[in-house]
Amino acid sequence: MKLRKKYKAAAIILTALFCLVAGGCSSTGVYIGDEPPVVKTGGPPPHAPAHGYRAKYAYYYYPEGQVYFDLNRNVYFYMDAGAWRMSASLPTDLNLQLGKHVRIDMDTSKPYTYFEQHKVKYPPGQAKKKNGKK
């Protein structure tokens, strides 16, 4: 009688192990014969922005004061003691000499990286009426 219980318990254990192994094999993606079709999707990886998409930043550049104003964030970029500063308002002396502005659209959040080009393209006193594109 004891032997019969041992065989029955062994049969149940073997059946359970077989079911676990068989179930595990079916979900591993093992292919016999032809390989599965390769699905190619165009475009960048999921973590990257779409092709052709770049963040656009719009600025007013004031050649008279050599100041940038970010239209989206409402902040100014200006030179102070040899370094570029960002502020919600301008020092009084700069605010008085702003004059006319030109709109410049760029792909950077730091407009002053192109300051030398803008200084040449838009000299003080000769602000162009059409928008500049960078």
pLDDT tens digits, one per residue of 91-107:
888 877 788 899 999 98
Say if 21 falls within a structural domain: no
Query: How is the beta sheet containing 102-106 ordered, strand by strand?
Result: 83-87, 75-80, 67-70, 57-62, 102-106, 132-133
Question: Comparing 61 with 49, which gets the higher pLDDT?
Answer: 61
Say if 95 falls within a structural domain: yes
Q: Name the helix (H) or strand (E) containing 104.
A: strand 102-106
Sign of CA dihedral 78, 83, 84, 85: negative
Q: How many CB atoms are closer than 10 A to CB 106? A: 21
Distance CA 124, CA 50 (A): 38
Q: What is the pLDDT of residue 83?
A: 93
pLDDT at residue 60 is higher than 80: yes
Say if 20 falls within a structural domain: no
User: What is the pLDDT confidence band of residue 131, given thresholds at 50, 70 and 90?
Assistant: very low
Q: What is the pLDDT of residue 134?
A: 45
Say if 116 falls within a structural domain: yes
Number of domains composing the chain: 1
Say if 121 falls within a structural domain: yes
User: What is the pLDDT confidence band of residue 130, given thresholds at 50, 70 and 90?
Assistant: very low
pLDDT, tens digit, 9 for 90 and up, residues 3-38: 788 888 888 998 887 777 766 655 555 656 666 677
Say if 4 falls within a structural domain: no
Say if 101 falls within a structural domain: yes
Distance CA 89, CA 124 (A): 21
Domain carrying residue 95 = 57-133
